[in-house]
Every structure is written in C-alpha cells, then in structure tokens.
Structure 1
C-alpha cells in the first residue's frame, strides 16, 4: 500500500491534469487562474483524500492522492455531502484569512466540486457551510475512515498540498511571462535598433561602427558564400542579435523556479526542478514557434517596422527554428526520464495515451525539418524543400495543439502560443499573399532566350518594383510553386524610359542581326516585341526546376499564364528608410557593383542616382558578366546599344563599366573612386555570393581606416 501511494504521489501532476476541465482563455497568469487562492485548493486536495458516504448522490471513494482502487466521489456527492462541505469550509476559514470573502465565495462556487464543465453547484454557500459547523473540530479523522463529521486537516499534508499547487502555479505564471518576454523582445529589438539610424551622430563614427560591429562577417571573410557549402556565417550585426536570442533563451530556461518543500507533487527536490525545467522549455519552445513563423513570413510585420532585410530575418529564422526544436526535444526527454524513473509500467501507461503520441509527432516533425532545410537541399531541390517545409511545419503545429488538448483540454491556455503561430502563418499565406496576387490578376508572360544561361521575361499590364514572386500554373501542376525575382525595369517608367528618351535617335527599333565569321546572318530578331502594352521585365538565370521550364514557351507568341505577387523589397515594405542608393547630402556618391543577372536589382536603383541630388556627387556602375549576350539584351532594353567603348559607356548620369568574363578588383576600384570623391559614399552590390563578400569585406576594411561608407546588399536568401 505504501509503494502504491508513493507511485500515486509521484504521478500526481500527470493524472491531475488529464481531465475535461472548463475552457479558459488567455495564459496562466494572464486571464487564467490555475490555483488561486492556493490555500483553498490545498484544503480541497486534503479533504478529498477521505472517503465519503453519499448514497444515491454518488459512490464513496477517494481522490487520486490515495488508494486508486477506490472510486472517486461524483461531483454531485461533493456538492451535497455535509461533512465534506463543513470540513472544507472550516479548513478554508483557518488557512485563507488573508483572502476576501468575495474571492472565497467565488472559488467555492466554481472550484469546490471540481473543474468539469456542467458540474453541479454546491448546495450551500461557503459562509452557510461554515455557519453549519456547530462546534470547532478538535480531531483529525484517520485517512482510512469515512468522513462523517467535521474534521481538522493534517497541517503537514496541507502544507505539502499548498507548496505543490502554489509552487506549480507560480512557476507556470513565470514561464508564460518569460515566453512573452522572449516573443516581445525579439519583436521590439529589431524595431528599436532600426530607429538608431536617426540619431544625429557623426558620419565618420557611424561608418566605423558599422565597419566594426555590423557589416563584416562574424568570422572569416565569407557571409554570402556558404561555409563548406552547408551554412551561412552571419554578419557581426546579425550575430549579435542571434547571440541575444541564445542568451535570453538560456537565461529564461534557467531562472525563476519556485522551489518549495515539503511538496505533495514530487518525491524529492531534484524531481521538482526537473519537472519545472521540462515545462519551462516546453513553453519557451511554443513562444519560439511563433517567432519562427513570424521571421519566415514574406509579409512579416517587422519588415514594415524595421529596415532589416528579408534575408536577415530568414537567417535568424533558421537559428530560432533550431532553438525551438532543441527546446521541444528537451521537453520530451525530461518527461520521458521522469516516467522512466517511476518504472516501466508508469512509462507504458503514459506512452499509450494520445497526448504522448501527438507530442512525439510534433517533436519529430520539428526534428525532421532541420535536415530537410539544409542549404544544399534548399538550393538544389527548392520546390521540394518549400512543399515539404510547409506540410511538415503544419503537421508539427497541429501535433502541438492535439498534444495540449489531450493532456489538458483547453484549461490552461497553452494552445494560445500555437494559435499565435497559426495566425501569423494564416495572415501571410491566406490574406497578404493572395491580396498581392489578386491586385495584379491573371497575366501572360512572354519569354525570350538571351543565351544558354539567361532568359528575359516580359509581363505586360503589371506595375511593380523591387522584388516579385512569380507563379507559372501553365508550366506545372504544382500551382503553389513560386520563385522570387528582381524587377529589372518597368516599361514606360523609370530608368528605361528616361534613357530611351535620351537615345530616341538610336536604332533601337531596328532589327538586330547576328553574323558568323564570314558575315552571314545566323540569327535575326527584333529588339522590340509586338506591342503588348506597358509592364515589367525580369532577367532570369536558368537553374533546375521551374526556371528551366520557361524555355519551353520562349517561342510562343501567346506566352504563358503567370501570377505576380508583388511588390517586395526594403523600399516597398519598410516605413523606415533603408540605406538604398538614394543620393543625399550626407552620401552624395553611389557606387554600384553588379554581377551577372544581379543587374536586375540594380537597374531600378540607378534611377535614384539620376534624381535631384545627382549633381552633388557621382554615380558609377561596375558590372561583371559572363556573357556578352546579357549585356546586349539589357542595353537594348534601355536603348543604349552601341554606346559602349572599351567596356565603358554612360547611361544618362551613370558612368558604366562592363567587364565580360573577368572580375573587377573590388578593393582597387573602391580605393580609386574614393580618392576622387567628396562626401560619403553608398556602395550597392548585387551579384554572385563571392562578389558580394568581396564588396562587404572591402567596404568594411576601408571604413575602418576612415572612409565614410555605407553598404547596401540586394540579395535573396532561401
């Protein structure tokens, strides 16, 4: 009997919480009361340990804290049994003297019988039950007897119950508080740090600060180039924020435990600490789940409130996802160890329950996501990565909800954390994205082959800028698949229109012929396609998957069906100005570095360099490209064909240097340009990972030695 009682004592938290309790909304400590007041719950826990005579009102028995072979009294028995009501009232009156009468009456009405929905109310009020006590009790009835008169409670038992209920309540409140601290701080910090740019600090100080603490890679010389082809080294600024996320998660997992003894919930203090830790990391994992979804969203609200790029948020998203998964694994491992310590029978009993099974599903789904999200898979199997990522992530969140439901029903509000993740995910997927697509409607995309590496895509009837995600439902049955591209030009607007206007005397509308070595025509095509109206243009480098299928419709005069989700990018998303290529009094000079198809992101930015402030400084473009065909195609689009001599030309106010098949010496170019410049300089880069890293390292090095520079990288991150 003693060993059975001990096992019951150790398993009390699990058994006590697998119940059909009343639904509450909010979080523990924030709208949900768990054991409040704990003195009254401790009294009930002790008094329900006695057997009751209830007759037709319910069966006699004991609570889960005693002999499990006895039946537990029915709710009606608790509501109508006079010795039970009077003993409980007397215990409350002697142990809850600091509580108000209204609070005690409220507790009596809602929790005396239990937490079940639809349960009967006590037949009399708390004050009436206390008044029915004829004489103050002086003895404690033996735990083996039936409770048939008013009795005192054992003080040691009451204290153990108080510590168990109260300690758990306090610790869970703190866990939810810490979860909110984590969620809010990781949302507020990016916003606050984005506002620092408005501080009136000297340019030289800001430039050096970024060169030392923000822009360089955290270590080494690579940021865009993956380390061993597997992962991205964050910049120092990104690393500082990631370090904060790690530190705050570790601290919040380690502090704030309310350890009390004696404790009816646990056999010894190490078990109490272990159980609290398991619950804490579970709550923090839920909080990180919401952050993980938030940071991955294209329509992340933080993109509007900060000047941080989507690439930065995606990078941090992967780190938070790892922490979230680690905490879920710790939560599972801790509770596995607790039940294994209670014996194989206790573990087998729990492992057969639905909450346990769905907890395993949720945890394993998170674990599986990690290897399926490594960089080689994202790059080589992008479509498979996206589809599997969404399906498994949703499975994990559903598993979390069912784990909570079968464990606690909706009593304690743990599901609120998962609801937050679902709301963020649903807003992005089912509201913001469809809205961006619907504003453009169904369009046709016309594809032109530039060369064996590049394609040109024109979409008439769409006005967009920055970046757009394109869906090609006519090319694949996987209609949800989409790819991000930079808008190279908007016909009828911006740079292409301005440059074409200045070059109106050129032969841009004449047929263009390609000749072989003997002068024979081998290819002839018109630069200007048949009039289809104004629209947007993309240059696409062919990879595997969907982009390789675009070539199939290159010869089609009717094009292919396309849906355009736009517009994205720092200028379109953020209400806080970003360091894009807009000449200003502080930074009148702009130097652009583009590599290959990276020119698509740079072309719209060149428009800013032709703006009002352009006479204050200079603007230069250095474009390294593998093939001449891409250069000719862009020049034709801009009406600039035939203007280039020895790799140099002028596009309006922009000095253009083109290098075909050879890289620029970035450091030497920057030193040369800075020696002949006055004022601050913005350096913009978009191109292959190696070029981006070269520019980043060179800008940081020069800024550390006194140059007034700021860096703007235009890039996608998967």
Structure 2
C-alpha cells in the first residue's frame, strides 16, 4: 500500500503554503510509515521478547516486551526475521526497490516504534548488518519454515504470523490514511476561511459587476440576519446579529467543517488498537476533529488581530466584521475540541496508563480552558468589564496554547504527525500582531497629550506632533494612558482620530479664546424649537471653511468618559500618551466615489465623521445630540463652518425622511457613513436597505461603531 491519494492536492496547496510548512504536515512531506509493509513487519516483531531483552514478563505497550534498541541492533534472530519479512512482503512486485528497504532498515529497524518520541529520547544504533547482508545470511542458512508463537522468545529466524502482519498493516495504513485526510481537510478549512473574504471582495471588482453589486447590497451585504439588530445586542444580551452576508460566511464555514468531519471514513479490520469497526470509526472521528481544531487556530487568531494586514488590505471587510467572525470561528473550534474529547473518554478511559499520562492531563486542561474562554466571552461579561474580559482572555488563551503543545509533544513528540505545525503557525500570527503593535507604539514614542474638560463628562485630548492625522477618514488609534491607572498600565481603548488642523479655520486667530469670530456662513439660517436647534446651510451659497493649516500637526480625540480608564481623564497639560495605530476601520474607496456623501452621527460619534468633511466635495452632515452634549456641539461648531449640516440638540433624526429627501434630489449614488449609538446605526442600516430596494439610487454604507 502507498500513501493515500490525497497527496495529489500538494500542487494546489503549494500555491498557498510555503514548502517548509507543507513538509511539516503528515502526508505532505512528513510520514512516519512511508513503507507500510515494512512497518507492519517491524511492529509484528516488537511483542516478541529476544534473548537479549532486559525483561520478558513486563509489557509496556499492549504486551510489547522491554527490548532496548541496542539489543535489536545486534540480535541475529531479530534481524534475519525482519529481513525475511521485508523480502516476502515488500518485494519489487509490490512496488518497492531494494534501496527503499535499505533506507528503512538504516533509519527504523532499531527504532522503538511503540514510542513515537524514540527519535528524540533514545539513540538509534545502526543494525550490525545491512538489509542485504541479513537477507544473504537467511539464504545461506535456508529460508525459515517455522512461525513464531505469541510470547515465544525469538531466538531463531521465523516467519511472521499472517494474522499479526495483517493487523499491523491495517493499523499502520488506517491510522496514516486518517492522519493524511485530517491534515488535508485541515488545510481546506484554513484556506477556505482565509480565502472567502478575498473572493467575495474580488467579485465586487469584476468587469460589469455594478448591477450585480447593486442587487446584492440591499439583500446580502447590508441587511441584518435578524430584524434590524446588528450593532444593538439581541434580546437578553445573547450577542450581536451578523448581517446576511456575514451569516452566509458563518453558515458556509460551519457546513464545510461538518461535511469534512463526516465523510470518507474507512475501517480496516483486524486492527491492532480497535477490535470493532464502530470503535475504529469513532477513533478516526476522534483523530480528525482534533486535527481540525489545531488547524483552525491560525485563522482564529488572525481574525482577532489588529494588524491583519493581508486580509484588511485585500478585502473591503472591516475589522469589526473580522472580530465577529473570530467569535464564530471560536465556536467551531470549541465544537471540534468537545467532540474530540468526548470520543476519547470511551476509547481510553479503560486504559489507566493513558488516563494517568501527561498528554491526557494537558489535553483535558486545554479542553476545559477553551470552554471557559468561550463562556467568559459572552456579551454580558464583555459589557460588565471589557478590561477584565480582555486580560483573562489573553492569559487563558496562552495557557490553552501551552496545553495544546504539551498534549501532542508528550504523546507523539515533534515531527511525527505534524500537529505542532498548526501551533507554530498560530503563534507566528500572534507574535506578528504583537510585534506590529509594539513597533507602532515605539514609532510614535511617548507623547504629552493636553486634556481639556468640555463639561458633562466630555473631554478633548490633543496629541501634538503625530503625523498620521492627515491620512484620510476612517482611522482610529488605541491609546494607552499609563499614568491614569498605575495598577493596569497596559489598558488601552480605541478612539477615532481627528486631525488637529481641522480646528484651524479662517479668522480663528482673531478670537479671544481661539474660536472663529463667525462660525456660521452668511447663508446659514437657524430654526429654533423646543429642545431642538436645526442649522441648515445652503451648500450652493456656502463660503469660508477650513483655512490653511499653520503647522498645527497632531491628532485630536473627543472622548466621552466611561467606566474604565477614561474615568480618570482630567484637565492637564502633560498626560503621558502611547499610541498604537493608526488603524483603518474599513475601506473608504467606494464611499469616496459616490456623488453625494451623507454623514449621520449621534453624540460622540461625530468624532469619526469629522475627517470625512475634507475628503469629499459634496458632503452633508446630520448630527443629533442630547441636551447634555451641547458642550460638544460648541466645541465642534468651528470645524463645521461652511459645511452643509443639520445639527439637532435634544431631538432625534428622522432617518427615513432624510434619505428620501436626498433621493429626491436625483443623485445616482449616495454614500452614507454613520457613527453613534447602536440604535442609530441599526436604524440607518435598515433605512438604507429599504431605500435601495426601491431602486433608482445606489447606496454605499459604512457603519462605524465599536460594537466589540
């Protein structure tokens, strides 16, 4: 028998993985039993004690005798019996050359096949004869005509019992076949999970795809899969509903995993380990789900990474989308781990030596931790204390990875079945992300931020000298304020970035306190009513606007104090600030290509909308704030000089009406950027979907909400 035909997939996967990665996976360059008949011959002899065995009555592995490698290397009966079995079972008629048998002889004939870690823990002395010399000795003394019996001391050249050989052959081939299939399906799952976002994005850029995209957007891309819930949590805080498009990805990923875990099983009886076909199939499911869990690890960590350079660059999917998918991929990972663990119980609990082993204990630790991590990641806990969730999430994940490592290393060592390769890949993704974070912080260095109280829990933080403020809209940065909380200086939060230069407008230098003398254009009119102030600026008559920047480089953060780190923000001139960023929320290319850009904000959401003002020639801002946030309006109004806008204080926006009004103007393609409370974001999403389904106007929607 040869390696299973899944190796025909190597050319395809070699396009996606480097050679070293492939060579470290079983069936793709790594195979402990590359000659199954030779391994079966070898295994058939290991249960028989030799004349030089240290003990003939103390089995260590399914009744195998304690026989040192040195003993086998110098025992004539062992070498001649093995040589004769190789000659009769692995001859040229079966497709094996003498050179292949010689290589097996030199590398594995004296290896303890009962212990996969033999190659790193025990020496491998070469046999005293080569395969050809041992076979020549057999022919000189006459071919064997006697078959050894179970438990009999092997002190003569023997014929290997056929029943034992077949069982060993089935075991070697069956287990290896399942390991190769597991590695193959693991690669398929990993590649599919990684490639689907890229393929979906590329569909949007195919020639003549505009009508196709227009059809998909209001039906798949934008609408929620559960009513109008998306940013808002579902009832009873059971989580956030994915969009229809995200739900399709999740369904495809789940279906792929279930299908690949359910097909292509084949029992090989008699089997050395499993006495019935049902037990053998259970064992193969046990193997495959374990491999699949390991294979998902790199994707799981990649989706949670801030510095997911490749996917964020190649796709138009947002970081928030990848975080949502990270949680669903984690559920698939836990599902594989649980199936793997539950199937292991009936298979191995009857074996005290296995249950008391280190690899069993570490496997149990990893399984328990992955369930704990998933349970501790539910939305109520994240909302209760995101900082505690995040710290525990990282610590428990690291311990779980250690458990996964020892689970396989203490079982089969390294470079045997390739399980550790998946851990290497996952750790590489994690370290690249962490190194990139550290590099961004070091690049910016320690900054001295100026904090100014605006009132009612709102503050403005100016960080001078930062150069990425002019990189366009849709940026956020993770800020560390290490002096705010000395007992947890690692704590950081994401904030939208506004270039400080936007506060420099014409005539600003004439104001006493740095404000412009005229924040409204001459064409502006104000409508006042109870609890509402609406300022409507005619874009055709507007003038003024942003003046020439006079060296005010830096970024400004508008922050509403919360229950965590930001609680301690107070007016100061020298707040130590570390910046990890910038990061782009999502691609801005399609939004910028629209005929009209609508900015819809609620409260502090104005922060992420301000940079869009200078990025498009035809912008209108709709902004609603509570009465308590009037101080925020007063702070931002100087930036909005000459901008077409409606600012409502103490009153909500009528999303459906304002979209209908914009559609009536005749624009063919309207971009909508919304940032604010979850209810506002979901209302805008639903209104855009309804408006686009009516036809006539295309919409590009960007929801900028930190829902994680």
Q: TM-score, normalised by structure 2?
A: 0.85
Residue 453 of structure 1: how far off its partner (Å): 3.3
Query: In structure 2, what is the equivalent of residue 293 of structure 1?
Result: 301
- Which of the numbers 666, 674, 688 marks the counterpart of 2:663? 674
Shift of 1:62: 8.5
Q: Which residue of 2 aligns with 1:657?
A: 646
Q: After TM superposition, give the deviation of residue 29 of structure 1 in Å.
A: 1.3
The alpha carbon displacement at 1:50 in A equals: 2.3
Structure 1 residues 162-211: Cα deviation after superposition (integer angstroms, max 9, x where no partner): 01111100110110111111111111111122122211335444222111
**Aligned ranges 1:624-639 → 2 under 5 Å:** 624-626=624-626, 627-636=629-638, 638=639
User: What aligned pairs does 1:266-281 form with structure 2 within 5 A after superposition?
Assistant: 266-281=274-289
Q: Structure 1, residues 121-157: CA drift from partner, whole Å, max 9, x if none?
A: 1111111111111322233132243222222122222
Structure-to-structure mapping, 1:473-622, within 5 angstroms: 473-477=482-486, 478-487=488-497, 489-492=498-501, 495-497=502-504, 500-501=505-506, 509=514, 534-550=553-569, 553-554=570-571, 556=572, 558-570=573-585, 578-579=588-589, 581-582=591-592, 584=593, 587-609=594-616, 614=617, 618-622=618-622
Q: Which residue of 1 aligns with 2:688?
A: 699
List aligned pairs for 1:359-508, cutoff 5 A. Answer: 359-410=363-414, 411-429=416-434, 431-465=435-469, 466-477=475-486, 478-487=488-497, 489-492=498-501, 495-497=502-504, 500-501=505-506
Q: Do structure 1's residue 102 and structure 2's residue 99 form an aligned pair?
A: yes
The aligned length equals: 630
Contact 2:508/2:516 (CA < 8 Å) preserved in 1? Answer: no
Structure with the larger RCO, 1 or 2 (CA within 8 Å, 6+ apart): 1
RMSD: 2.2
- The DSSP-based 3-state class of the residue aligned with 2:40 is helix
Query: Contact 1:593 / 1:685 at 8 angstroms: preserved in 2?
Result: yes
Deviations 1:426-453 (A, max 9, x none): 1111x10011111110011211122213
Q: Distance in 1 between matches of 2:566 and 2:461?
A: 11
Partner residue of 2:17? none
Residue 668 of structure 1: how far off its partner (Å): 1.1
Tell me by how many angstroms 1:496 deviates: 4.3
Please list the CA deviations of residues 329-380 of structure 1 after superposition, one character each: whole Å capped at 9, or x if unmatched.
221111112123x3xxx2x433322111111111111111122111122123
**Correspondence 1:305 to 2:324:** no
State the distance in 2 between where 1:225 and 1:95 align. Answer: 67
Deviations 1:522-566 (A, max 9, x none): xxxxxxxxx99531101111110101111xx31x3x331110111
The answer (yes or no) to whether the contact 2:508–2:515 under 8 Å persists in 1 is no
SS at match of 2:330: helix
Cα deviations across residues 612-648 of structure 1 (Å, max 9, x unaligned)? xx3xxx4211111112211111113x273xxxxxxxx
Structure 2 unmatched runs, 5+ = 1-21, 113-117, 470-474, 518-549
Greater CA drift, 383-392 or 202-211 = 202-211
Structure 1 residue matching 2:444: 3-state secondary structure: coil
In structure 2, C-alpha distance between the alignment counterparts of 1:258 and 1:40, rounded to whole Å? 22
Partners of 2:272 and 2:357 lie apart in 1 by 24
Aligned to 2:280, the other structure's residue is in SS state: helix
Partner of 1:146: 153
1:660-691 Cα shifts (integer Å, max 9, x gaps): 11111111110111111332111111111111
In 1: Cα distance, 2:280 partner to 2:588 partner: 50
Bigger Cα displacement from structure 2, 382-391 vs 298-307: 298-307
**Alpha-carbon shift at residue 37 of structure 1 (Å):** 0.6
Q: TM-score when scaled to structure 1?
A: 0.84
C-alpha distance in structure 1 between counterparts of 2:515 and 2:687, whole Å: 43
1:559 is paired with a residue whose SS is strand
Gaps of at least 5 residues in structure 1 are 1-23, 513-530, 572-576, 641-649
Name the CA distance, whole Å, in 1 between partners of 2:554 and 2:672.
29
